[in-house]
Amino acid sequence: MKALYPKQGRVIFHVDMNSFYASVEATFDPSLRGKPIAVAGNVEERKGIIITCSYEARAYGVKTTMPLWEAKRLCPGLIILPPNFDRYRAASKEMFEILRSITELVEPVSIDEGYVDITQCYEQGTPLEIAELIQKRLLKELGLPCSIGIAPNKFLAKTASDFKKPLGITILRKRDVQSVLWPKKVVEMHGIGNKTAEKLNEIGIHTIGDLAMSSIGIVKELLGINGQKLHERANGMDEREVDPLAIYDVKTVGNSSTLPEDTQEEGVLLDVLARLSDKVALRLKGKQVVAKSITIQIKNSNWKMMTRSKQLTNPTDVGKEIFAIARQLFLSNWKQDPVRLLGVIAQEVVAKEDAHKQLDLFSYEIDAKDEPILSTLTKIQEKFGKHSIVRGVSQNKMPTFKEDTSFTKDFLQERKKE
């Protein structure tokens, strides 16, 4: 059996649950099986948006991020349910326990997907046999369908898992990249969104093959370090290991501001938070990562520190969203006492390409509307300096203050003291 595994290299699965939330709901209530169902935010409002839907609903043209009114028009018999995240988290925990019964080399990347390195699992069967075993166990024990991509690296495994849904198993080898991936449009490649695809199209790169065969220097000049990564992916290259501990890493991006004097004026303090939120957002975008939680730090005139955090349903790198959370945390916990320092920290940072976002209409519209604004803001600050333009700050009231972009160390030290 060992001879069926590579002597060098790895065998990696990407396990992707099919219509996870809808599948969990159908398992919880068997009467929903085989029916068109959708999980949606703001179920009672016309502006609610589809988070996920069953394949029966998709047959009517219902899609993720579609407004409820449109989904109901396409499928009058659509059964709409509000999300139950406790239920989904419990199902996710059981799903990953099954994966870890095969090997400890399991890396969750979201609530309903993860990577599994089975390179040393040859005593349990061939890669295809192990994939079939996982798929059957998830369906039999949890009632949840999944698709599995089998490949020598993460990128190809994730790409392969999308080929057959539901209940698909696909093998994608490096030698298949030219024939299988290269003919596809570049926008279909994982890690490339519409805006990146438009930029590539403008320089004559329309397919994944075009990207693979292009000059890496030109692509890197256009897209920065991310361009080099995408060029490697287009050629089937990805050296990332499956890291079981990655989900437990404490990764943060933060900025703090020390005011020149104790301040009690709410407007000034909110302006500081707005500015910090934008800076954190710019750094997140620069690192191609998003945050799963936001923390604020408030230090009073006696230098006593208080921190408050909020977990996010939708990972974000958007300044307006970060500020909305920071503002809420600040106004809910500030006792009107003088403030000497404020900090905004984006925590549980994950790679943008691996982030799993449950869209509601509010965040979906914010993303679409703010993207060109944030892109322009980034370009201006990169060209003329980070203080050349800021959003939502009253310049005549804005005090000077000391910034600390190495905020993580101080923050963690303060947490240890508490």
- Residue 45's CATH number: 3.40.1170.60
Residues 394 and 336 grouped into a single domain = yes
Query: Do 268 and 323 touch, CB atoms closer than 8 A?
Result: no
Nearest one of 275, 312, 277, 274 to 292, comparing CA atoms: 312
What is the reported pLDDT for 81? 94
Residue % of the chain over a pLDDT of 90? 60
What are the pLDDT digits (tens) for 67-86?
Answer: 889 999 999 999 999 989 88
d(CA 147, CA 163): 9
Residues 7 and 72 grouped into a single domain = no
What is the reported pLDDT for 406? 31
Residues 14 and 24 grouped into a single domain = no
Query: Do 52 and 39 touch, CB atoms closer than 8 A?
Result: yes
What is the reported pLDDT for 354? 64
pTM comes to 0.64
Judge whether 112 is annotated as a binding position. yes
Domain range for residue 344?
250-417
Residue 266 within a domain: yes
d(CA 268, CA 247): 37
Of the residues 113, 321, 348, 353, only one is catalytic, namely 113
What is the reported pLDDT for 402? 38
- Determine whether 403 is an active site residue: no
Judge whether 16 is annotated as a binding position. yes
Burial-class residue 100 by CB neighbours within 10 Å (0-12, 13-18, 19+): middle
Sign of CA dihedral 175, 178, 184, 187: positive
d(CA 144, CA 164): 16
pLDDT above 60 (res 358) = no
Residue 361 within a domain: yes
What is the reported pLDDT for 45? 55
Query: Do 381 and 286 touch, CB atoms closer than 8 A?
Result: no
Would you place residue 44 in the very low, low, confident or very high pLDDT band (cuts 50, 70, 90)?
low
What are the pLDDT digits (tens) for 97-117?
Answer: 999 999 999 999 888 999 999
Neighbours of 136 (CB within 10 A): 11
Rounded mean pLDDT, 346-372: 56
CATH number at residue 198: 1.10.150.20
What is the reported pLDDT for 198? 94
What are the pLDDT digits (tens) for 226-282?
Answer: 899 999 999 999 999 999 877 665 478 888 888 888 899 999 999 999 999 999 999
C-alpha distances in Å from residue 238, one per residue of 110, 156, 231? 20, 8, 10
Would you place residue 380 in the very low, low, confident or very high pLDDT band (cuts 50, 70, 90)?
low
Would you place residue 384 in the very low, low, confident or very high pLDDT band (cuts 50, 70, 90)?
low
CATH number at residue 154: 3.30.70.270
pLDDT above 90 (res 224) = no
What are the pLDDT digits (tens) for 162-175?
Answer: 999 999 999 999 99
pLDDT above 80 (res 1) = no
Residue 95 within a domain: no
What is the reported pLDDT for 80? 93
Residues β-bridged to residue 257: 342, 403
d(CA 209, CA 159): 15
Residue % of the chain over a pLDDT of 70? 81
Q: Where are the beta strands (DSSP E) in 120-163?
A: 146-151
The tally of domains found in the chain comes to: 4
What are the pLDDT digits (tens) for 279-331?
Answer: 999 988 887 789 989 999 998 877 778 889 998 888 899 999 999 999 999 99
Would you place residue 369 in the very low, low, confident or very high pLDDT band (cuts 50, 70, 90)?
very low
Question: In this structure, are strands 79-81 and 106-110 parallel, antiparallel, or unpaired?
Answer: unpaired
Q: What DSSP string runs through 258-295?
A: EEEEEE--HHHHHHHHHHHHHHHHHHHHHHTEEEEEEE
Residues 282 and 374 grouped into a single domain = yes
Residues 331 and 399 grouped into a single domain = yes
d(CA 50, CA 315): 17
CA-based angle 384:225:312, to the nearest 5?
A: 85
260 preceded by a cis bond (ω within 30 of 0): no
Q: What DSSP string runs through 398-416?
A: PPP-EEES-HHHHHHHHHH
Residues 226 and 259 grouped into a single domain = no
Average pLDDT, the chain: 84
d(CA 335, CA 269): 13
Would you place residue 6 in the very low, low, confident or very high pLDDT band (cuts 50, 70, 90)?
confident
What is the reported pLDDT for 410? 34
What are the pLDDT digits (tens) for 51-68?
Answer: 899 999 999 999 988 888
What is the reported pLDDT for 371? 44
Residues 222 and 281 grouped into a single domain = no
Residues 6+ apart with CB under 8 A from 24: 84, 87, 88, 91, 144
Residue 201 within a domain: yes
Residue 300 within a domain: yes
Residues 306 and 372 grouped into a single domain = yes
What is the reported pLDDT for 55? 95
Rounded mean pLDDT, 325-338: 93
Residue 311 within a domain: yes
DSSP assignment letter at 123: G
Rounded mean pLDDT, 349-360: 61
Task: Characterise 81 by phi-psi region: left (phi > 0), alpha (psi -120 to 50), beta (else).
Answer: beta
Residue 61 within a domain: yes
What are the pLDDT digits (tens) for 388-415?
Answer: 444 444 333 444 343 443 333 333 333 3
What is the reported pLDDT for 46? 54
d(CA 407, CA 404): 6
Residue 243 within a domain: no
